[in-house]
Amino acid sequence: MNASASRPVVVLMGGRSAEREVSLGSGAAVVEALSASGGREVLGVDIGTDGRWRWEAEEAGPAEALSALPSRAVYFLALHGGEGEDGTLQGLLSACGRAHTGSGVGASALCMDKAAARAVLNAAGLTVAGGVAIDGPDWRNDRPAILDRLLSLPGGSWFVKPNAGGSSVGVRLVGDPDALGAGVDALVATGERVLVEARVEGREASCPVLGNPRTSPRSLCPVEIVPRSGGFFDYAEKYDEVGGAREIVPPTGLSPATCQRLEEHARRAHVATGCAGASRTDFIVPPDGEPVVLEVNTLPGLTPRSLLPQSAAVAGIDFPALCEELVSLALAAEAAR
């Protein structure tokens, strides 16, 4: 057994975001997969809603937990949203010299900030939907002028979403111009910065990428997403195992040329945003024209319904092998530093 295969792994899951339950599912799956070989110590740590870390019979704050857990461990981040994905936890682990899966502080913070990520992707030559980012004070002070800007976006319907967040939590699809202001009001009232994007008609798709900065990342097969409700890929469509969206991989409604284009754009998005380990870029594919990037996810889900494992399986990478590859990429990033 090589040295990397014997390194302990600490799987961090749970957290305080609205995606806590999804994260717990991802974390449990990863613990099971990495434990199957029996070649290394694998510990699952639940970061509670109170911020405390709990594993086996132990409980501690983050700093104390890092001191108590194996110092050579690789930290496998199975968190989604909030401080588990926005660079906060990544910064703590890096400052303490702990290797971890996924992207570093900069890419994590950038991709969690949808408005900032849109600017970077656009500068890299990728197409994004027309949109406007709105801060609460600006909305309260200049509501009529901002509303005019929103109404001038093309398409006639809009997605109103938290600027920072994932799993489509809090996203509203608004088709009535008279209801647009109320949709923004509802999110502003929660203290969230708001992003309003013009709805782009087309097929939904998502494409994972594996690789670290300064290497040649490789894309996996895109996944075509067909919401059963005829709406969009919201939280229920993502995670409802009975009534959720159809996830088709390889796609049947997208041409081979379009799939190649999605893979190319996903690799470009991964590189432009500085992602490491795994990313997953979500797209709308209009009937004509270039794919439109919706967002780049730096910690793709790892539940049975998640898209990254489905896409990896088509490439011949089963779930335990995928988890092992993510650990190997973390160790390669540690060596590069």
Is 239 designated active site? yes
Q: Quick check: helix, strand or coil at residue 107?
A: helix
Burial class (CB in 10 A: 0-12, 13-18, 19+), 296: buried
Is 19 designated active site? yes
DSSP state letters, 260-305: HHHHHHHHHHHHHTT--SEEEEEEEE-SSS--EEEEEESS---STT
Is 214 designated active site? no
Rounding to the nearest 10 degrees, give the CA dihedral for residues 16, 207, 263, 99.
40
Annotated active-site residue in 25, 172, 301, 306: 301
Annotated active-site residue in 7, 199, 203, 280: 280
Q: Residue 37 — φ and ψ, nearest 5°?
A: -75, -25
Is 295 designated active site? yes
Annotated active-site residue in 17, 84, 118, 239: 239
Bridge-partner residues for 12, per DSSP?
A: 45, 77
Is 311 designated active site? no
Is 290 designated active site? no
Annotated active-site residue in 7, 19, 25, 263: 19
Instruction: Say if residue 251 is preceded by a cis peptide, omega within 30 of 0.
Output: no
CA distances from 300 to 44, 77, 208, 275, 310 (A): 18, 10, 8, 12, 12
Annotated active-site residue in 17, 167, 206, 279: 167
Annotated active-site residue in 168, 297, 306, 311: 297
Annotated active-site residue in 282, 306, 311, 324: 282
Is 167 designated active site? yes
Annotated active-site residue in 295, 306, 311, 324: 295
- Measure the CA–CA gap between 42 and 20, rounded to whole angstroms: 21
* Contact of 233 with 171, CB cutoff 8 Å: no
Is 301 designated active site? yes
DSSP 226: E
Report the relative pairing of strands 278-285 and 292-297 from DSSP bridges: antiparallel
**Which positions are catalytic?**
19, 167, 239, 280, 282, 295, 297, 301
